[in-house]
């Protein structure tokens, strides 16, 4: 139930749905308007009339795909109808954009008449560079795609068929390599006769499986020559001349089982009866035909893949369609043909056999991957997939004559693809996965807050952290029920906890010479301050980190932390850091929240601590100490303070890339930075240290609200143990992000 609420909240919060249209040209002045619309727009219209290919030059057609569906086969949910399928089509658009920077309009057609769908797509051809058919049931989907490929001059691709086929075929090639079997010698059984099963079988045959060695089954058993019941022309293509009549019979002695059917369709007995070193692709979603645990429980020589992200070897269509369309669009292909599909298969298979870089391992919580039984297909978040599949598709399109705009310089094309990838989109997932590799106990001082409770559910479900909630136990339990949360985490109620007296005595020991009596300490612990209680949990080792501040003022979270945990020895202050995530870049800003008018010493501390935190997040720090002066261009006490801070940083951290004093634009604009050839900073800074709280606080808020940056923080630096501050406006996602950062902070102590 909680997952359901989380999904509904995800889709309904803020702007409804998952997509929006953003203008790519300015429209701020009357002159802009006259160019965007009348009269200026007449010029590209006339140019396109004279030369239709100019549509790719003057409009978005060349990077625009239609995701077309009638909702008759939505995920594993069946015929939900066009409207109910819209969230899936929007989601498809998000994946196109996220993985290949392709724009999408989702088109839901309220008809089950295949000829009407064909006609609609044909009428849309002037608008789009390609069409992705989605969630249309078989056998109509076969007919629709066949007719569109015959009649249209842009790529048409039914991902439910070919996406799964391409990914599992790549995995099959690698699995066969590991078990030293030749594809022409294997016997393969396909359970399922729908769109994806049909395409998987066809592509396996195209790769070398002998048709006589291919057995397909549906709900009525083996599809054999002469069978009448439940047949159609598309099943007839795979009717085998065989004595097998049941899936169980066909599985005996088989080398490969492809499952595109339903949960539990493959039994342990079937697995036991297969040939040595069997290969099983149990691709039913959300639950596979047989789980890896069940298969490995029967025999140890099995290689298994599923559609699930929580198991190795995930057959995930997102490894295919974004990059297939990227390559097809970039050469203005008129079709996606069999040769292009096979090119994608071989590109994915080859990539999985290459050494996996650390960046991919970091994106999955530092899990190490190498070619073998548990890694036969690349990971969806591997950025190299774009660089392997899109060029392979483009090259195959050129080789087969369907490319209308061939790529003259393939190395340059690769560079263009690589430059389109930004680390900013992956940064939080990388941090979250790092946290998941070794989750820590994070205590929340405001455990009764609805958003804290919902965030705790996410943290538990994803294995990011081990939440501890502080608050009234009955109230928290009641809120969990109200929110339909199935959350089993420790709840600490200071009013009756057996630890309260111990914490009060320890607080008295820490603060007895700073104005607190034992009775006051007891009152603080029992009733007055849950922040004190949470910090004491961290101090006593009962929790690893604290998050607080969702419904309190900033000082109310920091003050108890300083009183109980204190700042690191040798530091003059604690400092605040914000991570600002833009579409293409990530910047870290400090101090944005704590020190009002820092000294040169405090500025140096801020820079060093910020660099250490950024390094913990597996990002190489490059520090700019900001001022209104560029390297001595203005002689003023404020600029001299920053100049002295730079000297201190270089003395204390000689290996750190740091420069200043410098103006903000010099720090982040390569052309301006290039003018200072003596600068140690050769590429734009990613850590910006502000000369005072005024400038830092103002800047991060403007960047967040006007610049479109996602602000993650504040990250509190310089404490003896990790404490981080939430903001009153934080949503569930913000809280989850901060918890992940807190866990990573603990991991690096």
pLDDT in tens, 627-650: 999 998 898 999 999 999 999 999
372 vs 513, which has greater pLDDT?
A: 372
Share of the chain above pLDDT 90, in %: 62
> Rounded distance, CA 720 to CA 67, Å?
52
24 vs 717, which has greater pLDDT?
A: 717
DSSP per-residue string spanning 203-229:
HHHHHT--GGGEEEEETTEE-BTT--T
Instruction: Tally the C-alpha atoms within 13 A of residue 164's C-alpha that lie toward its C-beta.
Output: 27
Task: Pick from 312-316, 342-346, 460-464, 551-555 the range whose average pLDDT is largest.
Answer: 342-346
The pLDDT value recorded for residue 78 is 85
The pLDDT value recorded for residue 692 is 93
Report pLDDT digits (tens) over 52-96: 999 999 999 999 999 999 999 887 788 999 999 999 999 999 999
The pLDDT value recorded for residue 690 is 95
Share of the chain above pLDDT 70, in %: 98
Residue 422: pLDDT over 60: no
Residue 3: pLDDT over 70: no
**DSSP type of residue 319:** G
Q: Which residues are catalytic?
A: 37, 92
The phi-psi region of residue 552 (left if phi > 0; otherwise alpha if psi is between -120 and 50; otherwise beta) is beta
> Rounded distance, CA 580 to CA 589, Å?
7
> Rounded distance, CA 216 to CA 239, Å?
7
350 C-beta neighbours (distance < 10 Å), count = 15
Residue 1: pLDDT over 60: no
Residue 562: pLDDT over 90: no
State the chain's mean pLDDT as an integer.
Answer: 90
Report pLDDT digits (tens) over 143-154: 999 999 999 999
Specify the residue for token string 């994806």: 196
Assign 218 a pLDDT band (cuts: 50, 70, 90): very high
The pLDDT value recorded for residue 426 is 61
Residue 415: pLDDT over 50: yes
Residue 480's SS3 state is helix
Number of residues written out for the chain: 749
132 C-beta neighbours (distance < 10 Å), count = 30
Report pLDDT digits (tens) over 717-733: 988 999 998 987 787 87
The pLDDT value recorded for residue 2 is 56
The pLDDT value recorded for residue 497 is 87
Residue 490: pLDDT over 90: yes
**DSSP bridge pairs for 688:** 589, 624
Sign of the torsion formed by the C-alpha atoms of 67, 70, 71 and 75 = negative
Residue 469: pLDDT over 70: yes
**DSSP bridge pairs for 221:** 218
The pLDDT value recorded for residue 358 is 67
In the chain the first and final C-alpha atoms are separated, in Å, by: 37
Assign 5 a pLDDT band (cuts: 50, 70, 90): low
Report pLDDT digits (tens) over 338-390: 999 999 999 999 999 988 876 677 677 778 888 999 999 999 888 889 999 99
């Amino acid at each position: 139930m909680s997952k359901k609420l989380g999904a509904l909240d995800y889709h309904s919060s803020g702007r409804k749905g998952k997509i929006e249209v953003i203008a790519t040209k300015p429209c701020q002045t009357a002159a802009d308007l006259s160019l965007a619309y009348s009269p200026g727009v007449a010029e590209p219209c006339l140019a396109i009339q004279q030369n239709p290919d100019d549509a790719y030059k003057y409009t978005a057609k060349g990077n625009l795909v239609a995701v077309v569906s009638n909702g008759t086969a939505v995920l594993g949910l069946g015929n939900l109808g066009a409207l109910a399928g819209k969230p899936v089509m929007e989601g498809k658009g998000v994946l196109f954009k996220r993985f290949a920077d392709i724009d999408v309009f989702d088109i839901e057609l309220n008809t089950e008449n295949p000829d009407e769908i064909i006609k609609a797509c044909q009428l849309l051809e002037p608008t789009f560079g390609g069409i992705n058919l989605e969630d249309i049931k078989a056998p109509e989907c076969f007919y629709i795609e066949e007719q569109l490929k015959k009649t249209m001059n842009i790529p048409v691709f039914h991902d439910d068929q070919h996406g799964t086929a391409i990914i599992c075929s790549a995995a099959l090639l690698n699995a066969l390599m590991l078990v030293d079997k030749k594809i022409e010698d294997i016997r393969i059984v396909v359970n399922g006769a729908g769109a994806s099963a049909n395409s998987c079988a066809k592509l396996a045959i195209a790769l070398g499986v002998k048709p006589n060695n291919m057995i397909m089954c549906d709900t009525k058993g083996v599809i054999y020559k002469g069978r009448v019941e439940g047949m159609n022309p598309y099943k007839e293509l795979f009717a085998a001349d065989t004595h097998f009549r049941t899936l169980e019979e066909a599985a005996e002695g088989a080398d490969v089982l492809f499952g595109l059917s339903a949960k539990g369709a493959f039994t342990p007995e079937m697995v036991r009866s297969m040939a040595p070193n069997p290969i099983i692709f149990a691709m039913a979603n959300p639950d596979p035909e047989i789980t890896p645990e069940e298969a490995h429980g029967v025999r140890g020589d099995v290689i298994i893949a599923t559609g699930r992200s929580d198991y190795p070897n995930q057959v995930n269509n997102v490894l295919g369609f974004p990059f297939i369309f990227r390559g097809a669009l970039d050469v203005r292909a008129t079709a996606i043909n069999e040769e292009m599909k096979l090119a994608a298969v071989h590109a994915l298979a080859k990539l999985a056999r290459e050494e996996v870089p650390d960046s991919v391992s970091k994106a999955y919580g530092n899990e190490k991957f190498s070619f073998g039984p548990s890694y036969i297909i690349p990971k969806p978040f591997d950025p190299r997939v774009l660089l392997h599949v899109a060029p392979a598709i483009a090259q195959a399109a050129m080789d087969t004559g369907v490319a209308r705009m061939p790529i003259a310089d393939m190395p340059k094309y690769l560079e263009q693809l690589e430059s389109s990838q930004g680390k900013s989109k992956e940064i939080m997932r990388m941090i979250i996965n790092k946290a998941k590799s070794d989750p820590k106990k994070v205590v929340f001082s405001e455990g009764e807050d609805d958003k804290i409770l919902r965030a705790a559910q996410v943290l538990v479900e994803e294995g990011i952290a081990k939440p501890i909630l502080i608050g009234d136990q009955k109230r928290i339990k009641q809120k969990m029920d109200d929110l339909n949360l199935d959350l089993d985490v420790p709840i600490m109620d200071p009013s009756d906890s057996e630890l309260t007296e111990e914490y009060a005595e320890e607080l008295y020991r820490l603060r007895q010479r700073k104005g607190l009596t034992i009775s006051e300490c007891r009152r603080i612990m029992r009733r007055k301050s849950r922040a004190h209680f949470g910090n004491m949990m961290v101090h006593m080792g009962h929790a690893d980190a604290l998050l607080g501040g969702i419904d309190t003022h900033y000082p109310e979270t920091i003050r108890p932390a300083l009183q109980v945990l204190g700042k690191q020895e040798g530091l003059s202050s604690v400092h605040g850091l914000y991570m600002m995530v833009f579409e293409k870049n990530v910047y870290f800003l400090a101090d944005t929240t704590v020190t009002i008018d820092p000294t040169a010493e405090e500025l140096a501390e801020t820079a060093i601590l910020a660099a250490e935190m950024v390094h913990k997040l597996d990002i190489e720090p490059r520090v700019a100490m900001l001022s209104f002066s560029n390297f001595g261009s203005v002689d003023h006490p404020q600029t001299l303070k920053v100049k002295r801070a730079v000297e201190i940083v270089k003395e204390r951290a000689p290996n750190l890339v740091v420069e200043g004093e410098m103006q903000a634009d010099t720090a982040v604009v390569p052309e301006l930075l290039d003018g200072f050839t003596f600068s140690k900073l050769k590429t734009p800074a990613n850590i910006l240290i502000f000369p005072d709280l005024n400038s830092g606080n103002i800047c991060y808020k403007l960047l967040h609200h006007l610049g479109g940056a996602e602000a993650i923080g504040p990250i509190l630096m310089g404490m003896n143990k990790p404490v981080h501050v939430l903001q009153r406006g934080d949503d569930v996602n913000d809280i989850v992000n901060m918890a992940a950062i807190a866990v990573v902070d603990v991991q690096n102590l």
